[in-house]
Structure 1
Amino acid sequence: MSDLFVLQTPLFELVFRAAVIYFFLLLAMRLIGRHEFGQLTPFDLILLLIISESIAEALTAGDDSLLAGLVSASTLLLLSVLVSLGQYKSQRIRNIVSPGALKVIEDGKVIEKSLRRELMTYDDLVERLRARGIGGIEEVRIAYIESDGDISALTYRETDRRRAAAAEEEKKTE
């Protein structure tokens, strides 16, 4: 019982290991892309569980004391708070940690370059719009993939559609 609170690994090493793993995962999630984590599929959940299991040993350096786990968890939580605080106070940190919104539809037309950048298929985009109650791409005035991977979209109102159709007809007659 007394071994539960005796560190087998130096405190600094535990903190350092947790920090390295935290920033590695932060970078990996940034590089993977926001669309991957907008909706957690069963595959994504399995992947997250496997990742957490694969880094558990590296996190505590094989130290299975309760204190080592508490130090590692506390370090990760502290880093999370510090990164959040950094994002709040600094635009530069916010840009590094959280990507800005990425426009994927404008005036009812898909921006293919944006889809490629996020490794999102046309079908994925349409499915996510349907989940928002939007029947098709042509109904969307503008849509973004937000930093959390969610899709936000503004649709045309009926009067906007009529106005756009009239403007299109006017261009054809000129």
Structure 2
Amino acid sequence: MFDITMPLWELFVRATIIYLALIFLVRVIPKRKAGHISPNDMLTLIILGGMGTDAIMGGSSSVIEALLMVGLIIGWGYVFDAIEARSPLLQRVLRDRQTTLIDRGRFIRQNMRRELVTEEELMAVLRKEGVDDVSRVRSACLEADGEISVIIEDKPEER
């Protein structure tokens, strides 16, 4: 139960390969589906949940191996967050950027299709912002956290 059944190097390599493969897979999830959680945090939660289930159900070879894997996954999550915070190149690769959905009162349909946002969803967000006519919108963007931000055109001052 507490014995390590595989070499530590194998445990390290397996956890690292799975983590890197899942980072790639998490990057293809649309922003709107991810919500307010970063891809790295989502990945850590997915892996830890699966490992926890495996350990609880007795699928792991030992408790120590399960704890080592959990520690390794949390460690990789921390390392990637730290490197990403200091590397503009890695930020461009790993972090989502905002996507413009409306520009100067016009829907950017190509971006809406890519981000799986319908005109009805976008209009609902505009109504919540008090906008009933898309021509009054300077810009609406799908942010990296999945929220849609709206900038309304300034009204000309009446004299």
> Residue 44 of structure 1 aligns with which residue?
none
The alignment covers a number of residue pairs equal to 145
Question: Structure 2 CA distance, aligned partners of 1:85 and 1:70?
Answer: 22
- After TM superposition, give the deviation of residue 130 of structure 1 in Å: 4.3
Distance 1:95 1:15 in 2: 27
Q: 1:142: which partner in 2? A: 139
Q: Deviations over 1:37-88 (max 9, x none)?
A: 1379xxxxxxx97xx549965xxxx424222221111111111111111211
Structure with bigger helix share is: 1
| TM-score (norm: length of structure 2) | 0.74
Give CA deviations for 1:131-172 in whole Å, capped at 9, x if unaligned.
5x3434334211211222222221123338x8xxxxxxxxxx
Q: Is it true that 1:102 corresponds to 2:105 in the alignment? A: no
Which range is displaced more, 83-92 or 11-20? 11-20
The 3-state SS of whatever aligns with 1:147 is coil
Q: Secondary structure at the match of 2:28?
A: helix
Q: CA 1:77–1:146 in 2, change beyond 3 Å: closer, same or farther?
A: same
- Decide which structure has the larger Cα Rg and report it: 1
Residue 127 of structure 1 aligns with an amino acid whose one-letter code is: A
Percent of matched pairs sharing the same residue? 26
1:41-120 aligned at under 5 Å gives the runs 53=50, 62-120=59-117
Alpha-carbon RMSD across the aligned residues, in angstroms, is 3.0
Q: CA deviation at 1:121?
A: 1.8
